[in-house]
Amino acid sequence: MVKKKNFGSLIRELRIKNDFGQRELATKIGIAASYLNDIEKEKRSAPKQIVIKKLSNLLKVNIDTLNDLAGISKGNVAPDIGEYIEKNPRIVSLIRSIKENNLNEDQIEKIENSLNKNNCKALIIAAGLGSRLKKHTENLPKCMLDFGGKTLLQRQLDSYKKNGIKDISLIRGYKKEKINYKGIKYFENKDYKNNNILNSIFYAEKVISGNIIISYSDILFDSSVVERTLNSNHDISVVVDIDWRGYYVGRKDHPISEAENVIFNSNNEVEKIGKINTGNEEVHGEFIGMIKLSNRGTEIFKEHFHRLKKIYWNKPFQRAKIFQKAYLTDFIQELVDIGIKVHCVIIESGWKEIDTVEDYKKALVAFNKKFTKS
């Protein structure tokens, strides 16, 4: 995670990290180079909120981090909070109520989590080819396959919206023109043939902030799965099905050895994740392809992705031959290996993966739909 030094030194550090010259960055954010120089040297306090927003976007840093440090540099509250209080004076009475009731940190956290549940976004990764579905994906991305009168994607959208998630983004790639739902923010992974899930996610880095659920596009899941995921108050949470083995009975085209399994400890924290089912040790569940990040979690996620990208680009990374081909589970394992806690949201069924023709047939049977023999 980015170290919170002070506003000016952090701006300088991130400017250099993102290969901006001082004059170049000043021009982009609309201030004089001399002013930016003074900010970096802590000779002047942080700029206005509109400039801080531009800095957040250009330097790829969470805006809350900048606002908090900006408030400290001015000897005041964070500028975004100050502006909000000015517009909503009743906030002052709410803060006084918290103070007068002497709420502890845990109680305040519960209030914060309750509010955050109503302010969560979703990001769906839908760039891949879906080649195992053969003729069914010759002209369609697999998220557009029909299931009981609705596409797989529409069923995902319904589950998210049922839980109050309306801010939804999607990463397109293969047959992108076939995905065109209204009310969704679209991002394009033009290099989908040469990368994998992890790198695909970062084509939508612009929306990876605050509280967000990121999910694979080839999974059917009940709205209850989303509800349980939203209830997690951890920075990084992965959804793990502990009733997973039955789904592999008779599943020939996607053997159990290809499952993204999880081993977790007594605190439900990930110890191992990925294609680890070698038969030598007992695995506890299967990662379903859904992860939730808190505001702080998105900072951790982005910082370590960019750090690792610089180190491992075109080089082996975890179980991937090169970083570009890494799975999300490779990245999660790396985070665990360096000591970052990743919590498991435990479920028992309530989802299906649609990876092969065999999977598609079984899912269609579940929807009582006639399937034309392949």
In a domain, 357, yes or no: yes
- The pLDDT, as a whole number, for residue 102 is 87
Residue ending a domain, among 90, 124, 146, is: 90
Query: Domain of 45: which CATH number?
Result: 1.10.260.40
Q: What is the pTM of this model?
A: 0.74
pLDDT of residue 374: 41
- Is position 194 within any domain? yes
**Residue 288 located in a structural domain:** yes
Q: Across residues 19-24, what is the average pLDDT?
A: 94
Spell out the SS3 assignment of 24-72. Answer: HHHHHHCCCHHHHHHHHCCCCCCCCHHHHHHHHHHHCCCHHHHHHHHHH
Give the pLDDT of residue 88.
79
Higher-confidence residue of 234 and 71: namely 234
Statement to judge: residues 179 and 302 lie in one domain: yes
Beta strands, E only, the chain: 120-126, 146-147, 150-151, 168-172, 184-188, 211-216, 219-221, 236-241, 261-264, 270-274, 285-293, 343-347, 351-353
């990374």: which residue's tokens?
Answer: 317
Cα–Cα distance for residue pair 167/121, rounded to 1 Å: 5
* Greatest mean pLDDT range, 53-57, 79-83, 90-94, 288-292: 288-292
In this model, does residue 372 exceed pLDDT 60?
no
Burial class (CB in 10 A: 0-12, 13-18, 19+), 200: buried
Q: How confident is the model at residue 81 (pLDDT cuts 50, 70, 90)?
A: confident
How large a percentage of the chain has pLDDT more than 70?
A: 91
Are residues 35 and 148 located together in one domain of the fold?
no
Is there a domain that residue 2 lies in? no
Mean pLDDT of the chain: 88
Q: Which residue has the higher pLDDT, 372 or 198?
A: 198
Q: How confident is the model at residue 371 (pLDDT cuts 50, 70, 90)?
A: very low
105 pLDDT higher than 90: no
310 and 232 part of one domain: yes
Q: Which residue has the higher pLDDT, 104 or 274?
A: 274
Q: State whether 80 and 208 are in the same domain.
A: no
Residues 134 and 235 in one domain: yes
- pLDDT for 113: 65
What is the band of 369 on the pLDDT scale with cuts at 50, 70, 90? very low
Question: What integer is the mean pLDDT of 311-325?
Answer: 97
Give mean pLDDT, residues 120-130: 94
* Confidence label for 203 from pLDDT (cuts 50, 70 and 90): very high
pLDDT at residue number 98: 83
Res 183 pLDDT > 70: yes
Query: Residue 278 has what pLDDT?
Result: 65
Residue 257, pLDDT score: 85
Indicate if the pLDDT at residue 114 is higher than 80. Answer: no
Report helix, strand or coil for 153: helix
Per-residue pLDDT averaged across 324-340, rounded? Answer: 96
Pair of tokens at residue 11: 């701006």
**Total number of domains constituting the chain:** 2
Residue 94 clears pLDDT 60, i.e. is over it: yes
Mean pLDDT value of segment 164-187: 95
**83 in the same domain as 215:** no
What is the structure's pLDDT at 155? 94
What is the CATH classification number for the domain harbouring 134? 3.90.550.10
Residue 127 lies in a domain: yes
Looking at the fold, whether 80 and 137 belong to one and the same domain comes out as: no
**Residue pLDDT, tens place only, 143-166:** 999 888 899 999 999 999 999 999
Lowest mean pLDDT: which of 149-153, 225-229, 310-314, 366-370?
366-370
Higher confidence at residue 115 or residue 55?
55
Q: How far is CA 291 from the centre of its chain?
A: 6
Residue 330 and residue 198 in contact, taking contact as beta carbons nearer than 8 Å: yes
* Percent of the chain residues past pLDDT 90, beyond the cut: 62
**43: containing domain:** 7-90
Kindly state whether residues 231 and 288 are assigned to the same domain: yes
pLDDT tens digit string along 252-304? 888 888 899 999 999 999 999 999 876 666 899 999 999 999 988 999 999 99
User: How does DSSP classify residue 250?
Assistant: T
Given this model, what pLDDT does residue 220 score? 92
216 within a domain of the structure (yes/no):
yes
